[in-house]
Structure 1
Amino acid sequence: MNKPLRHGYTTGACAAAAAKGAALMLVRQTEVAEVTIDLPAGVSATFPLHGQRFATHEASCFVVKDAGDDPDVTNGAELHARVAFIPAPPHSSTGENGIVIEGGTGVGKATKPGLAVGPGEWAINPVPRRMIEQAVREAIHDAQFTLKDSPFTIHHSRFTTKDAPPTLHVTISIPDGELRAQKTLNARLGIVGGLSILGTTGIVRPLSAKAWTDTIDAALDVARACGCPNVVLSTGRTSELAAQHHLNRAAAPVTALPEEAFVMMGDHVAYSLQSCARRGFLQPLVACQFAKLLKIACGHENTHAAASELDLSTLQGWAGEAGLPEAITATIAPANTAREIVIAANFDPSLLELVCGHAITAAQRHAPDLRPQFLVADYDGAIAFHGRIAGL
């Protein structure tokens, strides 16, 4: 019997838990071993705390992210929170409850428009930010003070005031966040210096594709906000590099596609095409190698080997109906892979045009308003074929 897969928790949930733990220690002036927070998914979760430190005016701790059985670059990362009472800085943007939330080491900053946070802001998305605020409010509730419009006293603390309300300054950091971010698409999206604090439910579902599809949506939002006239979807880095060289090598600087126009979709073909349609990119280019192209042409929504089966017999039927040369059709029946076929056919244009035509038809079943073009990459880093729809 297969063992059920474990779910995990988002960086946003871990950051909120760490912030609550630090706030509790600041309020109580004693060590706290674990905290329980409510998640947007409608359930609660308990997190053990590590590295607890507290003093009169500040406290800190961290939560180790457990992504469950989901392969996640942030699994095992330490989400640190420092909570401190500070004078409100001039012209600061505080939360409605007098809480300032900032990033520290290993948390990225946005540099491009189109993301959930604006350029120059810490990459702490709105839902995690609300979770952190809620967690800190819960921690200070028992202290019997209000952070706005009233004096307060902290139990078991020497810090008191009868004048201006305090500002709670929350700093979230990830010590190795910048290193981990190098394994993500953050830099492409315009998030520099570290990881993002993410999550809309607080829970990471094992082996889910949501993290990837969220990144696709974010990349397309950035492309639109940056004014890109079109986008190039690619199934992998090799195809993307080939497409960049092919499209920009002869283009004048004013017409060359910017970095933001290139979106790594991986195997999520149907989702990416539909996401393009929702954002008005109705003539996307799709860069891929022949095996992925054939899977797309066969109508598979996802081109991963585990999610679709390559049907070479379908290709053989298409080739026969189209009357392709015998030299090409003869290579299909005995072949074991699509790569073997296209190499044997020497990337014959008639073969590539045939499969591109079926790929366009299949793409329009996923997103009827689209008129995509396909760029087929060879195995030497170049585009072997640029399929075009009539009139484009």
Structure 2
Amino acid sequence: MREMFVIKNGKKLRCGYTTGTCSAAAAAGAALLLLKGEEPRTLRAKLPSGKAAELAPAGCGLREGRAFCSVIKDGGDDPDVTNGIKITAFVSKRKDGIIRVFGGAGIGTVTQDGLKCPKGGSAINPVPLKMISQSVRETAEKCGYAGGLDVELEAENGERIAQKTFNPRLGIVGGISILGTTGIVEPMSERAVIETIKTEIEKYGAENRQAILFNAGNYGKAFCREKMGLDLARGVKISNYFGEAIDHALYCGFKEILIISHIGKISKLAAGVMNTHSSVADARAEVFAAHAALSGANKETVREIMQALTTAQMIEILKKAGLEKETLLSVGESILQKIGARTKGAARCEIVVFDNEEHTVFISGGAVELAEKISF
């Protein structure tokens, strides 16, 4: 795969690979060495898009019946703290036909419910987990091996590096997470991202559209496609920049805005937070605690919500208290009020909010009708 670049703020910035892609490539290399005795010169990993990434090994070998292969993460021009980290995959045979992927030294362990990885398991997100398993399985098939394999991942200095991430706040201990929904890291610059969002909004505005779809992230993209039948090619990914996106949509003359977002992101709007990046503000617990109290929650329930680390945990607390529906309705209405204050009535705005399980937790009155309108 050729090097990829993006143009942001008039600069040509080099893309890189996620920890998930690096892990999948390292695992494939270790499997090849174990099963065929060949030390790979180039490592390959299939990306979710179907394209293949090619990476250089940073060392391979055999040790106590296991093969290992390392990759140095190259995040391109993205200033992520995991850039340059060494990820090593150790592969060994199993007697059954199972491929098991788990974390070792430097890979975090999940200690709380509500995340995409199960509590007690390694912090290896679903997409990279699938990439790693697929890479190892395809390598085994090429080598004529039908047995099982254990894949253990390690990240050099992962525990130290993880302290500079949001893992400690999410209840992930002992190391970094293996992440990535596309396998590709695109360089992030806040101003550049906002300008890109504005450019996309202007593109739709130039087509004389009256309604626009805003999607807050990759999971929202999947939700739109699978649950609502919406083609996200007709929408704009706004990331954390709700306020900037709404303002620019009004500037471009849009009269109707549909926003589809995960509850963990959009709930912050209920507190008037229009840039939802965690480095700017994290008002989730305060929002849920306040609206739970308005819905009749007692002091102990409010305290539990304030101590929760994720919105999934907060919703579980509300379920146990019998206050889930009423509180989520209150939060949703507050989000609409804050958006209305931002638009000052210049545009109609509808929202669809979903959770980790891709269940709709709040949908405004005209959202379905507007979604159908946009999908044509």
Counterpart pick for 2:39 among 15, 18, 31 = 31
What is aligned with 1:255?
Answer: 302
Cα distance between partner residues in 1 of 2:170 and 2:217 = 13
Q: Sequence identity, in percent?
A: 37
What is aligned with 1:171?
Answer: 152
Cα distance between partner residues in 2 of 1:191 and 1:222 = 19
Query: In 1, are the aligned partners of 2:171 and 2:309 still within 8 Å (CA)?
Result: no
The alpha carbon displacement at 1:61 in A equals 1.7
Counterpart pick for 2:349 among 353, 365, 369 = 365
Counterpart pick for 2:176 among 195, 219, 241 = 195
What is aligned with 2:203?
Answer: none
Query: In 2, are the aligned partners of 1:41 and 1:203 still within 8 Å (CA)?
Result: no
Q: 1:30 to 1:145 in 2, by over 3 A?
A: closer
Letter in 1 for 2:144: Q
Query: In 2, are the aligned partners of 1:110 and 1:117 still within 8 Å (CA)?
Result: yes
The root-mean-square deviation of aligned C-alpha atoms, in Å, is: 4.4
Unaligned 5+ segments in structure 2 are 1-6, 194-214, 220-238, 241-259, 312-326, 353-362, 365-376
**Match status 1:206 vs 2:168:** no
Q: 1:238 to 1:130 in 2, by over 3 A?
A: closer
**Match status 1:9 vs 2:17:** yes
**Match status 1:117 vs 2:98:** no
Query: In 2, are the aligned partners of 1:99 and 1:170 still within 8 Å (CA)?
Result: yes
What is aligned with 1:181?
Answer: 162
Cα distance between partner residues in 2 of 1:190 and 1:205 = 26
The alpha carbon displacement at 1:186 in A equals 2.0
Letter in 2 for 1:33: R
The alpha carbon displacement at 1:132 in A equals 0.9
Cα distance between partner residues in 2 of 1:198 and 1:190 = 16
Letter in 2 for 1:85: K
Q: 1:231 to 1:104 in 2, by over 3 A?
A: farther
What is aligned with 1:79?
Answer: 87
Cα distance between partner residues in 2 of 1:48 and 1:211 = 34
Cα distance between partner residues in 2 of 1:261 and 1:28 = 45
Unaligned 5+ segments in structure 1 are 89-96, 148-166, 225-229, 264-279, 286-295, 300-355, 371-392
TM-score computed with the length of structure 2 as normaliser? 0.55
Cα-to-partner distance string for 1:306-343 (whole Å, 9 max, x where unaligned)? xxxxxxxxxxxxxxxxxxxxxxxxxxxxxxxxxxxxxx
Query: In 2, are the aligned partners of 1:82 and 1:171 still within 8 Å (CA)?
Result: yes
Indicate the structure (1 or 2) with the bigger Cα radius of gyration: 1
Counterpart pick for 1:51 among 47, 56, 59 = 59
What is aligned with 2:134?
Answer: 134
Cα-to-partner distance string for 1:228-284 (whole Å, 9 max, x where unaligned)? xx986855668659x96xx79x99344233233678xxxxxxxxxxxxxxxx84444
Normalized per residue, which structure has more helix?
2
Cα distance between partner residues in 2 of 1:359 and 1:79 = 47
TM-score computed with the length of structure 1 as normaliser? 0.53
Does the residue aligned with 1:255 lie in a helix, a strand or coil?
A: helix
Q: 1:32 to 1:60 in 2, by over 3 A?
A: same
